[in-house]
Amino acid sequence: MQKRKLGNSDLEVSAIGLGCMGMNFSYGKPADKKEMIALLRSAVERGVTFFDTAEVYGPFTNEELVGEALAPLRKQVVIATKFGFKLDPNGGPRWIGLDSRPEHIKQVAEGSLKRLRTDVIDLFYQHRVDPEVPIEDVAGTIKDLIKEGKVKHFGLSEASVQTIRRAHAVQPVTALQSEYSLWWRQPELEILPALEELGIGFVPYSPLGRGFLTGKINENTKFEPSDFRSVLPRFTPEAIKANHSLIDLINSIAEKKKATTAQIALSWLLAQKPWIVPIPGTTKLHRLEENIGAATVEFSKEELLEVEDASSKIKIQGSRYPDSLEKLTER
């Protein structure tokens, strides 16, 4: 697997990482734990070195899974996790608010270190910007944790350009993790130019549009109530049907390049900037191998212009989040 550096930092990771959330959180019934441990270790065998999790996934169970699976391989991998949500004190499965107070960040760091079975967090993201806590205080807290040797790199997620600049002035931001794919291209307007200017890497989550860009979802697809997509505006039957023209476009490119739709979606992202590292998630070995294969698919400048021209004529239907969740982004 090819390697990439996240921005101007010394953090080098595989060109394609692995988002671990869906293994036991947010996408219906959790997968078998032993199978997921085997999958995580298989990913390392195949050259994946970048793994993404968070305290809130579960809560806690996803970090525990990643920690158990990767403990024997710890020196070979980079593990990213996140802080910033206020969890239900009664142990409920959902977060109840935001909390990036310095004392809470430090508390989360200690818990994550234990669950991940490690003595240092390679990349520690603020999961969502907390409007009640100045971003300078957040960045300063991470700076302290880096001095203490508990964290190596600072990351932000779904932050605005203004917030990124303010944080970066206190503690250099290694990576921003936000949604980016062929069907969510908002970061191209302001985020990508700012990251390039500041030397910050970009880690797109949902690079396959939560499964939509694989071409395996249609208007007849049924989602379990425990599947997060069941409440997303873009996954109503009407929106899925309306947006299928994007799949038709990707399919046409895939046929020409003898690749799958998922590989085209991922390789298109890789072609945008050399400091972009997508983190598709999966629970299946053959999908993992398919995703890894995207790193070998290349686009010429002419091909990229053709995709740009064709995709610009497609108007995507439906919001990516319900209003209550969309408010947590771009702060």
- For the chain, 331 residues long, give each residue's pLDDT as a single digit of tens: 999 999 999 999 999 999 999 999 999 899 999 999 999 999 999 999 999 999 999 999 999 999 999 999 999 999 999 999 999 988 878 899 999 999 999 999 999 999 999 999 999 999 999 999 999 999 999 999 999 999 999 999 999 999 999 999 999 999 999 999 999 999 999 999 999 999 999 999 999 999 999 999 999 999 999 899 999 999 999 999 999 999 999 999 999 999 999 999 999 999 999 999 999 999 999 999 999 999 999 999 999 999 999 999 999 999 999 988 888 897 9
Of 234, 230, 231, 282, give the one whose Cα is nearest residue 17: 282
Task: Give the Å distances, CA to CA, from 43 to 51, 53, 291.
Answer: 10, 15, 11
* d(C-alpha 140, C-alpha 155), whole Å: 13
pTM: 0.97
CATH architecture of residue range(s) 3-326: Alpha-Beta Barrel (3.20)
Please answer whether residues 111 and 85 qualify as being in contact, where contact means their C-beta atoms are separated by less than 8 angstroms: no
Residue 57 is a catalytic residue: yes
Q: Where are the domains of the chain?
A: 3-326
Q: Considering 57, 125, 180, 205, which one is annotated as catalytic?
A: 57
For the chain, counts of helices (H) and of strands (E): 12, 11
Alpha-carbon Rg for the chain in angstroms: 19
Question: Sign of the C-alpha dihedral, residues 107, 112, 117, 118?
Answer: negative
| Contact status, residue 25 vs residue 57, Cβ threshold 8 Å | yes
User: What would the two tokens of residue 135 be?
Assistant: 């971003």
SS3 (DSSP) at 78: strand
Q: Is 25 helix (H, G, I), strand (E, B) or coil?
A: coil
Place of tokens 């964290």: 151
